[in-house]
Amino acid sequence: MDKDSKGANKEKFQRVHLQEDLGEELTRPQLSYWKDAWIRLTKNKGAIAGLIVIVFIVLLALIGPLMNDYSMEEANYDAAYLPAKVKGLEWLGLDGLQTYEVQGKSEEEALKRGLESYDIEEKYVENVEIVQEPSEDNDNYYTVAMEVDIYAARGQEDSYYWFGTDSMGRDLWTRIWKGTQISLYIGILAAMIDMIVGVLYGGISGYYGGRVDNYMQRVIEVLSGIPNLVVVILMIMLLDPGLLAITIALTITGWIGMARIVRGQVLKLKNQEFVLAARTLGANDKRILMKHLIPNVTSVIIINTMFTIPSAIFFESFLSFIGLGLQPPVASLGTLIDTAFDDYRVYPYMLLFPAVIISLLMIGFNILADGLRDALDPKMRK
Amino acid sequence: MDSILDVNNLHVTFDTYGGSVQAVRGVNFSLNKGETLAIVGESGSGKSVTTKALMGLVAKPAGKIPKGEILFEGKDLTKLSNKQMQKIRGKDISMIFQDPMTSLNPTMKVGKQIMEGLILHQNQSKQEAKKRALELLQLVGIPDPEKRINQYPHQFSGGMRQRVVIAIALACNPKVLIADEPTTALDVTIQAQIIELMKNIQKKMETSIIFITHDLGVVANVADRVAVMYAGKIVEIGTVDDVFYNPKHPYTWGLLGSMPTVDSQEEKLIAIPGTPPDLIHPPKGDAFAARNEFALAIDFEEEPPMFQVSDSHYAATWLLHEDAPHIEPPEAVKRRMKGFSTEGDNKNE
Amino acid sequence: MAKYITKRVIYMVITLFIIISATFFLMKMMPGSPFNNIGGKLTVEQEAFLMEQYGLDEPVPVQYVKYITGIFRGDLGVSFQYDNRPVTDIILDRIGPSAHLGAQALIIGSILGIILGMFAAIRHNTWVDYTSNILAVIGISIPSFVFAGLLQYYLAVKWRLFPVSFWESPIYSVLPTIALMIFPMAICARFMRTEMLEVLGSDYIELARAKGVSNRIVMFKHALRNALIPVITVLGPMTVSLMTGTLVIEQIFAIPGIGEQFVISISTNDYPVIMGTTILFAILFVLVILIVDLLYGLIDPRIRIAGGKD
């Protein structure tokens, strides 16, 4: 017994010889940079939600216009100003009923004036409600809300306009998704410009350094001293509003931020050993820039590009809103919102749908960009 | 000897995305009055976390002390509320940080930063505090304190800033001073000055010092006792003589072997192979086994207990077990051990 | 410091000169006559008369010199649309509401943003932080005119809590201020949160804690000041967003400010007014950038000293 345990102990206290690389093996498995970033991204619920929203909107923008038979430009004045109506979603308020607020000395008079001015037969009025009793403030007028089955009143009982129609009776579902396509196109275009012009400019400036860098930086300094807004407005006035003008305006101003970031990164990277090593091995400038530096600045480029897209979408809609954007009959989310402002007090659905879509799109891109930044650059994570 | 601080079976964990990191896994030591205890170990060995725990500065909510006690003058610091701990921090126990370039508030005048603790803990008036701050600046060897007291940290060099940090730490005559790698971020010549300063101050004020470092040269110079930490545990502890002339733990051998000496130009430095273990899933048995060229089979099965070598010297390695084969430290380490003894002799002259 | 300021002012003047020249020549290149929209029924003689009256028959270089020298006298030319009214008059007439609205939005927005960002950082990873983040993302994402439209429809048209539009008493400024301040507030909150988190993780905060300083004093005495200094840098982008914002917000709420005038002038090709406003925007922008830089130097002791040695 005693001998046995002693023997076992002997065994236990034998020396064990290590394999050379055992120590390394026992450390945690090293994930590649991109795999690690991907894991961090998928753990970020906000970013994934943003991605889903974007994919959903992009898909609808592509297939939405094909989902019904209405076309983008076909006007149908009989069907003007019809609110949203969706089969099966009436309970959500998408029931095609339109509420008009009308005023009159008495309830009856208000109603009568309403029917006349909107050209509606009384039998289509479903509901009448007084929203404001007469008082000093409103010169003793009644304000009456009358709810009308406007589809029936216009003889469109069998039609379903999912997002309603505009003043010319055009289907807003089709127009809004086509408009979303344009907005997305602008966003992607801006991103491309950023990637090409900004990366090249910043890369060259940072890589060559010295006098080249100095001159290139002076140009950037002057350009960035000029408010973007001013440049864009001047360019657009010069070129006539439209897609081309917006494209050129974005080309002139959009890449500066990217150029600065890339230059900073390149400056930081270019003195690091692996670039020196490539140099001593005889790699030429172009090769070093393409094979070594660009892959290393990829993450900042991706992050910055992702922030460019929403700001370009915003800028286009903003320009359209002040009348410098796309011109009819082309529509973007911005122009649709701009038109909706003309009569949204009576027809709020015209504003609501494009407003919600552009907001979701912007939120989606912004939180995805935030998530990407956190995932790709843990140092920047705050 | 009277101990002023006793740490028993201290555990510290941090919750991370990957799981719970067991940064400190059962540390025991005591600090005697007026002595300097050096804690050495590589990055991530848990030495800084241990001192954070002593200060009650383990970052909540991620950091926790699930087990163990820190007895300071009979009180268990781990049980104190944040409010009670505030009264001890800076007054009884204070701390010197690693990087003087970042450890001073850049927008507050140096004098104000020194006075803050005095006003807080000793209810001094502004005048009294200012007088004391001037004294302290003088004490830590900053020339022209009258002028310096109204300057901002960026107007000081790195070494001078570290002197200011020391002045802040000493402001309330603390009983325990924790120095977390106070010289790592400094130039070699400045390092020596700061070490000298700390030794002088200890003589004058009789403070107990815990000196965290990974620089064994500094240890030999300042410490009375040394604790070697690896993977969240103390693997060897003893007087400087014990650990430097008679090291028992293979990890300590590794540390000594990886240290350059002046007269050892002929030999290479010996690197310890591999990297420290993952403390989310600490290995079974001795955490050092995987990197230990003298590992025994049992090292992979069971954790070694603390074996007593002498009254003051303990080490946690199965090599000290009676059944273990007798293994001599590698030749290079032996030569270094000799080197220390001659160095020590020179110093005594 | 004086040398630095001089250098910066010279840079600023050069930038402004380039902007003014570019604006001028671009305007000259604009297609069509500025008088088109009077009905398109002008005879050649009438048009020639108008050209002469506005000095447009002179050679472009002469017009250019006249315009540049005019700017120094505060003369930005006369409007084509409002019977010879000087552009300077039009701008002065309309600058009041814009300045009022802009200042109100800037002050309220940045204060709310700073508070929001500060609490988000102090309560990092709690519901306070999450709520503040969601608010910030919404504020950054939703275009101000969409936001303005929704505010106007629900709070004014439907629930009648506020006046729908116009600019008569303080209550009229509530909705436009909210619509205009939401973006600056959001960027301020984000920036403040980031800065505050960075400061709270810094060594000197740990040292302050190690001194035994209470949490509250650590926050307000040590952390807040250090976190606030860099927030000054967002003033630049905030001003731009306010300028952009006024263009649409003033239009939506029918506020008689510069932004509304600018949009009207664009649609009527009133070049002198467009130019005048553009130059005003440019000056404002360049000034804010300069002020931000100087303010930063004044507040941060590190830069203050470095500047002094210059």
Choose, out of A18, A39, A41, A43, the residue to mutate when testing the contact with B (most B CBs < 10 Å): A18
Residue A70 distance to chain C (closest CA, Å): 27
Q: What's the average model confidence in pLDDT over B261-290?
A: 71
- Chain A residues close to B17, C-beta within 8 Å: 43
Lowest mean pLDDT among B312-316, C30-34, C291-295: C30-34
- Which of left, alpha, beta for A311 (phi over 0: left; psi -120 to 50: alpha)? alpha
Distance CA B244, CA A179 (A): 78
Contact status of B253 with chain A (Cβ, < 8 Å): no
Q: Which of A229, A318, A382 sits opposite C281 (nearest CB)?
A: A229
The answer to whether the CB atoms of C207 and B117 lie below 8 A apart is: no
Three-class SS of chain C: CHHHHHHHHHHHHHHHHHHHHHHHHHHHHCCCCCCHHHCCCCCHHHHHHHHHHCCCCCCHHHHHHHHHHHHHCCCCCECCCCCCCEHHHHHHHHHHHHHHHHHHHHHHHHHHHHHHHHHHHHCCCCHHHHHHHHHHHHHHHCCHHHHHHHHHHHHHHHCCCCCCCCCCCHHHHHHHHHHHHHHHHHHHHHHHHHHHHHHHCCHHHHHHHHCCCCHHHHHHHHHHHHHHHHHHHHHHHHHHHHHHHHHHHHHHCCCCCHHHHHHHHHHCCCHHHHHHHHHHHHHHHHHHHHHHHHHHHHHCHHHHHHHHHC
* CA closest to C240 among chain A residues: A227
Could you tell me if C43 lies within 8 Å of chain A, comparing CB atoms? no
pLDDT of residue A324: 78
Contacts of B280 in chain A (CB under 8 A): 28
- Best mutation target, A5, A9, A15, to test chain B (most B CBs within 10 A): A15
Taking the C-alpha atoms of residue B232 and residue A175, their distance in angstroms, rounded to an integer, is: 65
Average pLDDT, chain C: 81
Instruction: Give me the pLDDT at residue B344, please.
Output: 45
Judged by CB atoms closer than 8 Å, whether chains meet at A355 and C197 is answered as no
Which run of H or of E encompasses A334? helix A333-343
Q: Are residues B94 and C211, on separate chains, in Cβ contact within 8 Å?
A: yes
Residue pair A361/A313 in contact (Cβ under 8 Å)? The answer is yes
Q: Can you give the pLDDT at residue C252?
A: 87
CA-based nearest residue in chain B for residue C201: B59
Residue B39's pLDDT is: 92
* Residue A196 pLDDT: 86
Q: From B94, which residue of chain C is nearest by alpha-carbon distance?
A: C210
pLDDT at residue C304 in the model: 57
Which CATH homologous superfamily contains domain B229-348?
P-loop containing nucleotide triphosphate hydrolases (3.40.50.300)
Cα dihedral: A162, A167, A170, A174 (round 10):
-50
pLDDT digits (tens, 9 = 90+) for A99-121: 777 777 777 777 777 777 777 77
pLDDT of residue C108: 92
Asked if residue B165 lies in contact with residue B197, where contact means CB atoms within 8 angstroms, the answer is: no
> In the prediction, which pLDDT does C40 show?
56
Determine contact: B168 vs chain C, CB below 8 A.
yes
**Residues within 8 A of A (CB atoms), B 4-63 only:** 17
Give the containing element (helix H, strand E) for B106.
none
Using the predicted structure, report yes or no on whether residue B276 has a pLDDT greater than 50: yes
Q: Which residues of chain A have pLDDT under 70?
A: 1-11, 17-33, 88-94, 96, 137-138, 153, 225-227, 285, 289-295, 377-382
Express each pLDDT in C118-166 by its tens digit.
989 888 888 888 888 888 888 888 888 888 888 888 887 778 778 877 7
Domain ranges of chain B: 3-223, 229-348
Chain A residues lying within 8 Å of B294, measured CB to CB = 15
Distance from B251 to chain A by nearest Cα, in Å? 14
Q: Which residues of A touch C240 (CB under 8 A)?
A: 227-229
pLDDT of residue C124: 82
Give the pLDDT confidence score for residue C115 in this predicted structure.
92
Query: Are the Cβ atoms of B168 and C207 closer than 8 angstroms?
Result: yes
The span from the CA of A357 to the CA of A184, in Å, is 12
DSSP letters, B289-330, are GGG-TT-BGGGGTS---PEE-SSS-EE--GGGSTTSPP-PPP
Q: Mean pLDDT for chain B?
A: 82
Share of chain A above pLDDT 90, in %: 2
pLDDT at C112: 93
The mean pLDDT value of chain A amounts to: 76
Which H or E run includes B246?
Answer: none
Q: How many CB pairs lie under 8 A apart between chains B and C? A: 75
Does residue C301 register a pLDDT over 50?
yes
- Select the residue of B97, B103, B120 nearest C213 (Cβ to Cβ): B120
pLDDT score for C111 = 92
Boundaries of every domain in chain C: 100-257
Among the partner-chain residues A229, A337, A362, the one whose CB lies closest to the CB of C244 is A229
Distance (Å, rounded) from C-alpha B4 to C-alpha B73? Answer: 6
Q: Tokens 């930081």 map to which residue?
A: A268
Which candidate from B87, B103, B165 shows the least CB-CB separation from C212?
B87
Of A12, A24, A28, the CB nearest to B296: A12
Nearest to A74 by CA among A169, A182, A178, A179: A169
The alpha-carbon gap from C211 to the nearest alpha carbon of chain B, in Å, equals 4
> Model confidence over B97-132: pLDDT tens digits?
888 888 888 888 899 999 988 888 888 888 988 999
pTM: 0.80
pLDDT over 70, % of chain B: 93
- Show which subunits contact A, needing at least 3 CB pairs below 8 angstroms: B, C
Q: What Rg, from alpha-carbon coordinates, does chain B have? A: 21
Residue A382 with chain C: CB contacts under 8 Å: 193-194, 197-198
Please judge whether A12 and B297 are an interchain contact, meaning their C-beta atoms are less than 8 angstroms apart: yes
- Cis omega before residue A329 (within 30°)? yes
| Closest residue to B116, CB basis, from C202, C203, C213 | C213
In this model, does residue C308 exceed pLDDT 50? no
pLDDT value at residue A1? 42
B24: amino acid identity, one letter: V
Closest CA to C174 of C187, C158, C156: C156
Q: Which amino acid is at C12?
A: M
H or E segment at B14? strand B3-16
Residue B168 and residue C214: Cβ atoms within 8 Å? no
Q: What dihedral do alpha carbons C142, C147, C148, C150 form, nearest 10°?
A: 150
Cβ pairs bridging A and C (under 8 Å): 110
d(CA A309, CA B197): 58
Q: Between chains, do B89 and C210 touch, taking CB under 8 Å as contact?
A: yes
Cα angle vertex A279, ends A277, A283, to 5°? 120
Which of B104, B105, B117 has its CB closest to that of C212? B117
DSSP annotation of B63 reads: E
| CATH code of domain C100-257 | 1.10.3720.10
Q: Which long-range contacts (CB under 8 A, 24 or more apart) does B284-290 make?
A: B286/B316, B286/B317, B286/B318, B287/B230, B287/B231, B287/B232, B287/B233, B288/B230, B288/B231, B288/B235, B288/B249, B288/B250, B288/B251, B290/A18, B290/A22, B290/A23, B290/A26
Q: Give A326's contacts (C-beta < 8 A, 6+ positions apart).
A: A182, A241, A242, A243, A246, A316, A320, A332, A334, A335
Sort out which chain B residues have CB atoms less than 8 A from C302's CB and list them: 106, 152, 154
Tokens of C64: 């250019």
- pLDDT of C307 reads 41
CB-CB neighbors (< 8 A) of C252 in chain A: 341
Task: Express each pLDDT in C49-61 by its tens digit.
Answer: 777 777 777 788 8
C142 touches chain A (CB under 8 A): yes
Subunits with 3+ C-beta pairs closer than 8 A to C: A, B
- Report whether pLDDT(B348) > 50: no
Give the minimum alpha-carbon distance from B298 to chain A in angstroms, rounded to a whole number.
5
Cα A94-A99-A105 angle, rounded to 5 deg: 170
% residues pLDDT > 90 (chain B): 5
Fold of B3-223: Rossmann fold (3.40.50)
Distance (Å, rounded) from C-alpha B75 to C-alpha B66?
Answer: 18
For chain C, positions 86-105, list CB contacts with chain A under 8 A.
Answer: none
| Residue C276 and residue C77 in contact, taking contact as beta carbons nearer than 8 Å | yes
**Number of neighbours of residue C183 by Cβ within 10 angstroms:** 26
Between A33 and B27, where is the model more confident? B27
CA A121 to each of CA A113, A148, A168, A307, C140: distance values in angstroms, whole numbers, following the listed order: 12, 9, 21, 52, 46
User: Helix crossing, A256-270 with A210-225: angle to 10°?
Assistant: 150
Q: How far is CA C115 from CA A243, C107, C110, C119, in A?
A: 41, 12, 9, 6
Put simply, whether C200 touches A (Cβ < 8 Å) is no
Could you tell me the CA-to-CA distances from C230 to A236, B340, C129, C295, C299 in Å, in that order? 35, 51, 20, 10, 10
